[in-house]
Amino acid sequence: MPIATASQTIGPYWHLLRDDTWSDLTRFGATGDVITLQGRITDGAGNLITDACVEIWQSSPPVSDVFDGFGRAASNAEGLFSFKTLRPEPVPGASGPMGNTRQAPHIALTILARGVTKALWTRIYFQGDAGHDEDPVLSLIPPARRNTLIAHQTKPGVWHLDIALQGASETVFFEI
């Protein structure tokens, strides 16, 4: 049986693909609860990561002609990435022996970069949303590390979540 092709790093020159309009998921005319989602990425020594390709995908709101659900942003000289998108709603959880579950609003986020051999998978949740205690993914995470996935609002409509690839405040990454 064929085996899936191996991942290789995206490297330092992925910007040849870069199109900054992709960081705005409302660019095709989507309307709703528009938010800015931003964060700063650091490595295990606290250095800013200025060459990352950050991608997001959200299954809510549903994909439509005006909403791709997908965005890509480059981290800048300050290690910052920023997206404009729509606030997600709760979605169903994975079906399985635990029965029907419901997931709190979240957005999947991956980090691709030089020195990152395969995508680093994480999620962004929103501070203050209902359902975090029952969320099937957050529930797998030791309580002391859950806050690495929970963005906070710095001003109305602007949500911030820093991402540490390694170290004391290391973001929780998933195997999926």
Partner 1 sequence: MSDTAPFRPPVPGSQPEYDVKIYGSTALRAPSQPLIRIAQSITERTGPHFSPARYPSNIDISKVASGEAQGQRIIVEGHVRDEDGRPVPHTMIELWQANSCGRYHHEGDQHDAPLDQHFQGSGRVFTDENGKYRYTSIKPGAYPWRNHHNAWRPNHIHYSLFGPGFATRLITQMYFEGDPLLKYDPIYNSLPDPAAAARLIAGFDINLTEPEWALGYRFDVTLRGRGATPFEDAHEEH
Cβ pair 92, 103 in contact under 8 A: yes
Backbone angles phi, psi at 136, to 5 degrees: -65, -20
Contacts of 167 (CB under 8 A, 6+ apart): 42, 43, 44, 45, 46
Q: Which is nearer to partner 1, 44 or 154 (CB)?
A: 44
Min dist. Cβ of residue 105 to partner 1 (A) = 11
Please state the φ and ψ torsions of residue 21, each to the nearest 5 degrees: -65, -20
Work out which of 32, 64, 134, 167 binds partner 1, going by CB under 8 A.
167
CB of 128 to partner 1, least distance (A): 20
Measured between alpha carbons, how far is 165 from 47 in angstroms, rounded to an integer?
10
DSSP state of 119: P
Tell which one of 36, 59, 76, 147 touches partner 1 (CB under 8 A). 59
Q: How far is CA 10 from CA 7, 15, 148, 152, in A?
A: 9, 10, 24, 29
Contact positions with partner 1 (CB under 8 A) in 15-54: 15-17, 28, 43-45, 47, 49, 51
Q: The tokens of 104 are what?
A: 């709190």
Per CB under 8 A, 169 contacts partner 1: no
64 forms part of the interface with partner 1 (CB under 8 A): no
Residues 92-121 touching partner 1, rule: CB under 8 A, are 92-94, 96, 103, 106, 108, 110, 112-120
Least separation in angstroms between residue 156's CB and partner 1 is 26
Asked whether 35 and 157 are in contact (CB, 8 A), the reply is yes
By the criterion CB under 8 A, which residues form the site for partner 1? 1-17, 28, 43-45, 47, 49, 51, 55, 57-59, 63, 68-70, 91-94, 96, 103, 106, 108, 110, 112-120, 123, 136-137, 140-141, 145, 165-167, 170-176
